[in-house]
Structure formats: structure tokens, C-alpha cells
Amino acid sequence: MNLTQFSLPGVGIFQTFLTVQAEQPTSGRQHVRSTGPLIIDHTPSTVLMADDGRSVLKFIKARSWHEYFKTFWARSRLFKEVKGNQLLAGLGIEVARIHEVGIGLVPGYKYRYLGYYLMEDLAARQAVEMLSWFQSGEVSEAQRMQWLDRVIDDLRTMRDAGVIFSDCHLRNVFAQPNADQVIWIDTGVTRYLCPRSRKFARKFNFSMRRFANYHDGELTLSEEEKRRILALQLPE
């Protein structure tokens, strides 16, 4: 473990983190790292290119004061996404590889983020965000249905394992045509111990209905595409 200070000039932040997981051994010294260009800065997170140009940094924001306390028992949204990444990989679902994880230290001046993780840049794998790809017009209706079926297959695997991907939409799924597979990001999933319970069925079905209608107005899913998504629902 070591202390890492990140300078984020684009959003006016200079914050220290405790690096708790890294692929490369750490020295135990404090060091300062800069970041590459800003990709997006929105309510739940800030996403930037890493300064090596080959990885992506995602900084998780605290949306309420009690989220800081969840960090102490590894229940914050940072841990939820990192553990969800590991869980889905264990189920055989393709996810973006996480190389490093850092936890925000005690709140202080300009303390903004619960933590961060460094993940692979999926563009290096020639993967594209599925929503943007579908909107581009480069995918035929038949191809789009085939790719959506791959997403549905992964959701079926999650359902059978008692897992809910609550923020399920096509911005969180990437298509990798050269490997004929889909890749999931933002993996804040929840696993239920009793996937046959009514509570799980209600939560899972809500997620599927939300997914089926999520992109209305920017990408029209056909009635057949929506039917296939909704067919995953469980009896309540």
C-alpha cells in the first residue's frame, strides 16, 4: 500500500488516496500523479484518461455525507463497483479489467471523491460503447438484434446467479466485434442470497423494465427487442 496524490486541474481537485490494490508492487512512499484529458464529469463520478494514455481513471463521488462512513466497512459505491467487477468476472461475464484501486483518506480541504479505480481503456481492444454504435447507423437491424441477444445472455447469467445490474443500459455495455463479445463497465451490482425470493424478482424485473425503456427518445428499441429484454422477467 502507498499514498497517492492526484492532481485534477480540470476540475480543481488535489486529493490524496490510499492505494490498496495494484498490479505493480508499491513502494510505500507518497507520490503525486497527474491525469490525462477529462472524458466526463457528472453527478456520480469523474472519468479521465490516465497520463499513460492507455488506461482510464474513474473517481467516485460521494453523493451524500453517509457514503463516507460506508467506506470504513467497504460498502461504499467504490467497493460496490470493484467487487461487482470481480463477481461478474467469476460468473464468466466479460468486464473491463481493473488494474488499481485507491480509497480517499479522511475528509479535508477539497475532499471530493470516495476513491478511484484505474481500468483498461477498452478502445485499445477495439471495443465501442454499444449505444453510440447502434446510433451510428453502422449496424443493421439483424446485427443489432444479435448483439442485444449477447447482452441478454449475460443478464440471464446474472439473473440465475441472483445478481442485479441496477444501472443497466447500453452506455454501460461495450461491443468488441473483433472478439465477438460484449464487455461491461460501471459494475455496481447487487447479489441476493435467495434468487427465488419475491424481493429479488421485484428488483430484477424493475431493472429489466427500466432497461427496456431507458433509451426512449435517443434510440428506439423495436417491439421485438423490448420483448426479448422483458422475457427475462421472473414471476412475482
27 pLDDT exceeds 60?
no
Q: Give yes or no: residues 66 and 15 share one domain.
A: yes
Last residue within a domain, chosen from 85, 105, 122: 122
Domain of 11, in residue numbers? 2-122
Find out whether 105 and 17 touch, Cβ atoms under 8 Å: yes
Residue 148 lies in a domain: yes
Whole-prediction pTM: 0.90
Instruction: Give the mean pLDDT of the chain.
Output: 88
Q: Give yes or no: residues 118 and 169 share one domain.
A: no
Residue 235 lies in a domain: no
Last residue within a domain, chosen from 122, 157, 179: 122
21 pLDDT exceeds 60?
yes
Kindly report the length of the chain. 236
Q: Give yes or no: residues 172 and 215 share one domain.
A: yes
Residue 33 lies in a domain: yes
With pLDDT > 70 as the criterion, what percentage of the chain qualifies?
92
The CATH number assigned to the domain holding 147 equals: 1.10.510.10
Please report the sign of the dihedral spanned by the C-alpha atoms of residue 216, residue 221, residue 224, residue 230. negative
Cα separation, 152 vs 228, whole angstroms: 8
Q: Give yes or no: residues 22 and 116 share one domain.
A: yes
Q: Give yes or no: residues 114 and 137 share one domain.
A: no
Q: Give yes or no: residues 83 and 131 share one domain.
A: no
| Tens-place pLDDT, residues 112-143 | 888 999 999 999 999 999 999 999 989 999 99
Residue 181 lies in a domain: yes
Find out whether 130 and 174 touch, Cβ atoms under 8 Å: yes
Q: What share of the chain is helix, strand, coil (3-state, %, to 5)?
A: 35, 30, 35
Higher pLDDT, 44 or 172: 172
* DSSP string covering 199-227: HHHHHHHHHHHHHHHTTTTTS---HHHHH
Find out whether 95 and 82 touch, Cβ atoms under 8 Å: no
Q: What's the structural domain count of the chain? A: 2
- With cut-offs at 50, 70 and 90, classify the pLDDT of residue 12: low
Q: Give yes or no: residues 39 and 138 share one domain.
A: no
Q: Give yes or no: residues 114 and 21 share one domain.
A: yes
Cα separation, 105 vs 117, whole angstroms: 15
Residue 201 Cα distances to 197, 208, 236, angstroms? 6, 10, 6
